[in-house]
Structure 1
Amino acid sequence: MRLLTAIPSPGINGIELGPLTIHFYALFILTGIFVAWQIGDRRYTRWGGPKDVSLDVAVWAVLFGIVGARIYHVITTPDPYWGPHGDPLKALRIWEGGLGIWGGIAAGALGCYIALHRRGLRFAPFADALAPGILVAQAIGRLGNYFNQELFGRPTDLPWGLMIDDAHLPSGYASGTLFHPTFLYEMLWCLAMAVILIAVEKKFRLRGGQTAMMYVIVYVLGRVWIENIRIDTAQIIWGLRLNVWMSIFVFIAAVLVFIVLTRLRQSNPTLANIYLDGREPHEDRADAVGSTAQSESAMKAEDELAEHDK
């Protein structure tokens, strides 16, 4: 009876199109990237950002992010690649799963910064615009973990327990054992936090990188809980998984940066401007000076409209 209420394991993890195999893991990652780009682009242009920049930045961010995420995963989970029975070539087979979120965020942010700086644009407003979309992208990407039957939690008797095929069952567990569907937990957490993040941003008028830092803070809160119920192989340091320690460090850093950004914005409102100083797309200086408040004005107008709608 219990199995009738369980989440079934997927029968496939990809689609065969002749000699080509489309893995669902890669498909959901690409779908998430597209959705995040669409959300971020609409928010950014509504705030006064140039319309032709988001795609260029997305290319840099995606390339850097995927490489960074894979490197982080391989470093923090070395046994499948460098262990006694490991295969170093598996490190190149990204479609089989294994992307470390913190490596992806750090490297993706670096890619964004480089692309934006080349265009004379500030990083903080773009990061703020993209933050809710990243949460949605992460929710979509977790479906790839479901189809790969990976990164699930410890055994559970809950009615939404996840069934795992014997081929993917960890050693030591009997056939038919149900596990916590951590992919589902993270999906729901990310979607809920995306909605809350936008609401908090409008209510408190977060700007100049504050929304981006708030994204990190709320994501980490859920991540720590989920990491603590996962049973996949991980490095343990002082009784905690490495990713838990990393999440704690990132959380503390994000809170401190949020506080600093709040104080800096009070003393220097131009931090929310779209363009770097002196890089505004105007021929005369008078227009350039006037444009430095463009993004702030657009954001205030958006907030006033939201208040009026209430």
Structure 2
Amino acid sequence: MTLAAIPSPPQGVWYLGPIPIRAYAMCIIAGIIVAIWLTRKRYAARGGNPEMVLDVAIVAVPAGIIGGRIYHVITDNQKYFCDTCNPVDALKITNGGLGIWGAVILGGLAVAAYFRYKKLPLAPFADAVAPGVILAQGIGRLGNWFNQELYGAETTVPWALEIYYRVDENGKFSPVSGTSTGEIMATVHPTFLYELLWNLLIFALLMWADKRFKLGHGRVFALYVAGYTLGRFWIEQMRVDEATLIGGIRINTIVSAVVFAGAVIVFFILKKGRETPEVVDPTYFQAQAQSGEDGDKTVAVAGKDDDSETPPRR
């Protein structure tokens, strides 16, 4: 018997007339907003134009959603392409969700293409965005709590998560979009919470390491990838939801291990130190410098005029 437990929300979808308001989507949107805000501050501190961040988001977010869905469908293809399956469900983002690996890969490629078009270095932006990305991932994990998904095995630990029996308006079992009947089906390990807390820990590590060691040239992003995949490796092994297996091992466990090793190698290969503002965005740097010089001249001229109009002391 559990001494205490974390309750799941009674539902994860509300309706505004015929329009469904999904908590999962709201969590993702909240994460994106926070990431944009933080990245603006960090990119500006590195010498980049903060106004570019929103432009990048317009490119990266749709690409990330598409990439995340493609990865999910590929790695869980048996859910969409079988004798009794409807392949059209593969296009429904709310059916099965997104895969973070695909989101980062395709979103990253879209951002790289954008910076290549702008003829600006990608690494400073990647370092600026990394903490915001993992913070957004943590916020997005709250959506899994509302959906009662991505949990671990049954347990009686004090922080166990209660999984409720949910039904739709017709009384049919509907674990994601239904409403709780109050019946507890199981108490399980809240692996979504473990990952959320791990993401917050890596976020704090990135912010500290970047400030302490003046990281640059893509090393903050490499550290983000290494940190996230390290946690995902052991959390993935705690999950009991259906997943594609290779040799009896969950595919995301294998991906985590491979990507972690690659990220660690890249971190130590990349150049130490941090780019100067002139390198981050030469045009923006020159414009800011010119603006500063013009401001100094204006102050100087104003001071001269004030002095000339001030009557001599007697």
- AA partner of residue 257 (structure 1): V
Distance 1:163 1:71 in 2: 31
Shift of 1:177: 2.0
Q: Percent identity?
A: 44
Distance 1:271 1:237 in 2: 46
**What are the equivalent positions in structure 2 for 1:28-177 lying under 5 Å apart?**
28-166=27-165, 167=173, 176-177=185-186
Picking from 181, 198, 223, the partner of 2:190 is 181
Distance 1:89 1:132 in 2: 35
Shift of 1:107: 0.7
| Contact 1:208-1:272 at 8 Å conserved across structures | no
Q: Does structure 1 residue 254 correspond to structure 2 residue 260?
A: no
| Contact 2:47-2:277 at 8 Å conserved across structures | no
Secondary structure of 2:80's counterpart equals helix
Note closer, same or farther for the CA distance 1:281–1:35 as it changes in structure 2 (3 Å cut).
Answer: same
Distance 1:150 1:56 in 2: 33
Which structure has more helix as a fraction of its residues? Answer: 1
| Contact 2:23-2:143 at 8 Å conserved across structures | yes
Secondary structure of 2:153's counterpart equals coil
Q: Does structure 1 residue 14 correspond to structure 2 residue 13?
A: yes
Which structure has more strand as a fraction of its residues? Answer: 2
| Deviations, residues 48-68 of structure 1 (Å, cap 9, x unaligned) | 101321000011110110000
Note closer, same or farther for the CA distance 1:176–1:56 as it changes in structure 2 (3 Å cut).
Answer: same
Shift of 1:282: 7.8
| Deviations, residues 51-95 of structure 1 (Å, cap 9, x unaligned) | 321000011110110000000000001122113332222222212
Aligned residue pairs, count: 275
| Deviations, residues 215-266 of structure 1 (Å, cap 9, x unaligned) | 001101110011001111111112311011111111111112112213xx47
Distance 1:204 1:50 in 2: 23
Shift of 1:198: 0.9
- AA partner of residue 218 (structure 1): G
Distance 2:162 2:263 in 1: 36
Distance 1:252 1:273 in 2: 29
Partner of 1:273: 279
Note closer, same or farther for the CA distance 1:95–1:203 as it changes in structure 2 (3 Å cut).
Answer: same
- AA partner of residue 251 (structure 1): F
Secondary structure of 1:234's counterpart equals coil
Partner of 1:203: 212
5+ residue gaps in structure 2? 166-172, 176-182, 291-314
Distance 1:256 1:270 in 2: 24
* Root mean square deviation of aligned Cα: 2.5
